[in-house]
């Protein structure tokens, strides 16, 4: 009997233990859930790392604002709406001073400014340049490669593949005519040789250094039997213009046109149209796209390889090539580099499109053609034309 009683007691104890273990069963199955919870919540702890790409400009903006300055050169406020562009940049990125050097300098002067300030981190060293297309590739060793975030929407023909320079806007060579002084408006390059324009025609720069003046010679060449590969007829035309006494050896600007001292200015269409806005009818003036020799000039942006403020320079480029920056060019009558992409996406307001003249007949030279023509014009101007173009006193 003792044995049976003992066995019964053991069985009872086992039964109680089994029931106790069964009561604890749910806690055991929930354990993995409890241990896995941190794993499912882990991404929340990694949020800062995943959020960073949401604003890839943040670090660049902070670095640029820490530098506190951007030094530009050769950016007249009435050129392609640069005044509005600079004001918009400063408003968008407070804390960055824009130090503007020599607004009336030419492309050659900009290149020389980089060379002269390679070891200078002071206020005379430009961070960025805006130069003629032909000044891009030959000077790439002076530039810092940087591809803006909208890089893929800049046409391949307007940029260096490795990011040293990139086209930003273009216009067409035109005549700005003060009609209060000269009511007989020239319609083509050949008209400028007429004696009625004696002492009335001027270039917008020195053709030995100024991109705008060099490309006026190229444009004239197209009207007198030349080609994008042959600028010599353009030099011959200016030699005739000078010999006839029609060419004024002064660098034209809007002030001289307004005063009537230079009735006919050879300039980009956007400069002429902006001038008419500023004249507000005093004097009366018109812009003429010549019937022949319609020549498109692209200007390129680049960052100096010796920029004292490299992050501010990069931020400036990002702004210029954003939709906002490109539309600001259009407000200044310029055709922006990314115009095709922006029109395809429907972001160009109709009123801006209506402001721009029809330049569909204009021809676009290649970088190689520009470099060749620039070499010819800058070295042969004195011998062929013989006019020493100087800034007005």
DSSP string, 251-290: ---HHHHHTTSSSEEEEEHHHHHHHHHHHTTSS-EEEE--
Q: Is the pLDDT of residue 27 over 50?
A: no
Place 15 in a pLDDT band, splitting at 50, 70 and 90.
very low
Q: Helix (H, G, I), strand (E, B), or coil: what is residue 169?
A: strand
Measured CA to CA, the distance from residue 210 to residue 106 in angstroms comes to 5
Position 56 scores a pLDDT of 77
Question: Contact, 185 vs 174, CB < 8 A?
Answer: no
Q: Is the pLDDT of residue 18 over 50?
A: no
Question: Contact, 193 vs 240, CB < 8 A?
Answer: yes
The whole model's pTM is what? 0.79
Q: Is the pLDDT of residue 24 over 50?
A: no
Measured CA to CA, the distance from residue 390 to residue 209 in angstroms comes to 11
**CATH code matching the domain that covers 171-296+370-384, chosen among 3.40.50.300, 3.40.190.10, 3.10.130.10, 3.40.30.10:** 3.40.190.10
Q: What is the mean pLDDT of residues 120-143?
A: 96
Alpha-carbon torsion (213, 158, 367, 360), positive or negative: negative
Q: Is the pLDDT of residue 51 over 80?
A: no
Task: Report the percentage of the chain scoring pLDDT > 90.
Answer: 82
Q: What is the mean pLDDT of residues 245-265?
A: 97
User: 143-144 and 201-202: which strand pairing?
Assistant: unpaired
Q: How far is CA 313 from CA 70, 88, 369, in A?
A: 6, 15, 29
The token pair at 41 is 């919540």
Question: Contact, 287 vs 276, CB < 8 A?
Answer: yes
Alpha-carbon torsion (391, 363, 320, 307), positive or negative: negative
Measured CA to CA, the distance from residue 131 to residue 140 in angstroms comes to 12
Position 28 scores a pLDDT of 34
The token pair at 357 is 């003249």
Residue 127's nearest CA partner among 301, 318, 308 is 308
Delimiting residues of CATH 3.40.190.10 domain(s) in the chain: 58-170+297-359, 171-296+370-384
Position 216 scores a pLDDT of 98
Measured CA to CA, the distance from residue 298 to residue 168 in angstroms comes to 7
Q: What is the mean pLDDT of residues 68-91?
A: 97
| Crossing angle for the helix pair 367-384 and 211-223, to the nearest 10 degrees | 90
Question: Contact, 239 vs 386, CB < 8 A?
Answer: yes
User: 97-101 and 201-202: which strand pairing?
Assistant: unpaired
Residue 267's nearest CA partner among 210, 317, 313 is 210
DSSP 8-state secondary structure symbol assigned to residue 246:
-
User: 166-178 and 264-268: which strand pairing?
Assistant: antiparallel
**CATH code matching the domain that covers 58-170+297-359, chosen among 3.40.190.10, 3.40.50.720, 3.40.50.2000, 3.50.50.60:** 3.40.190.10
Q: Which residues contact 330 (CB under 8 A, 6 or more apart)?
A: 336, 339, 348, 352, 353, 355, 356
């Amino acid at each position: 009997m003792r044995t049976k009683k003992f066995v019964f007691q053991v069985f009872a104890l086992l039964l109680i233990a089994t029931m106790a273990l069964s009561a604890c069963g749910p806690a055991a199955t929930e354990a993995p859930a409890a241990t896995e919870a941190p794993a499912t919540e882990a991404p929340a702890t990694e949020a800062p790392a995943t959020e960073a790409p949401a604003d890839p400009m943040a670090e660049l903006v902070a670095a640029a604002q820490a530098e506190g300055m951007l030094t530009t050169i050769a950016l007249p406020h009435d050129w392609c709406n640069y005044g509005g562009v600079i004001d918009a940049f400063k408003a968008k990125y407070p804390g960055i001073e824009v130090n503007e050097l020599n607004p009336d300098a030419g492309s050659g002067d900009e290149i020389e400014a980089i060379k002269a300030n390679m070891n200078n981190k002071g206020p005379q060293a430009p961070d960025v340049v805006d130069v003629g297309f032909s000044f891009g590739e030959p000077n790439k060793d002076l530039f810092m490669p940087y591809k803006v975030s909208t890089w893929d929407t800049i046409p391949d023909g307007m940029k260096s593949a490795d990011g040293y320079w990139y086209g930003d806007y273009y216009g067409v060579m035109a005549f700005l005519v003060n009609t209060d002084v000269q009511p007989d408006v020239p319609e083509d390059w050949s008209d400028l040789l007429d004696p009625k324009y004696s002492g009335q025609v001027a270039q917008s720069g020195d053709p030995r250094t100024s991109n705008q003046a060099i490309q006026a010679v190229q444009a004239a060449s197209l009207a007198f039997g030349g080609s994008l590969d042959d600028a010599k007829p353009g030099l011959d035309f200016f030699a005739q213009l000078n010999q006839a006494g029609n060419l004024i050896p002064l660098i034209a600007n809007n002030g001289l046109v307004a005063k009537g001292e230079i009735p006919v200015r050879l300039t980009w269409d956007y400069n002429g149209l902006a001038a008419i806005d500023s004249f507000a009818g005093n004097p009366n003036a018109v812009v003429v796209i010549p019937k022949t020799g319609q020549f498109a000039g692209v200007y390129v942006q680049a960052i100096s390889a010796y920029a004292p403020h490299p992050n501010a320079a990069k931020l400036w480029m990002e702004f210029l090539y954003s939709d906002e920056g490109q539309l600001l060019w259009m407000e200044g009558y310029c055709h922006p580099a990314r115009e095709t992409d922006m029109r395809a996406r429907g972001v160009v307001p109709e009123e801006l499109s209506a402001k721009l003249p029809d330049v569909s007949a204009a021809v676009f030279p290649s970088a190689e053609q520009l470099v060749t023509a620039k070499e010819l014009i800058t070295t042969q101007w004195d011998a062929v034309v013989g006019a020493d173009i100087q800034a007005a006193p």
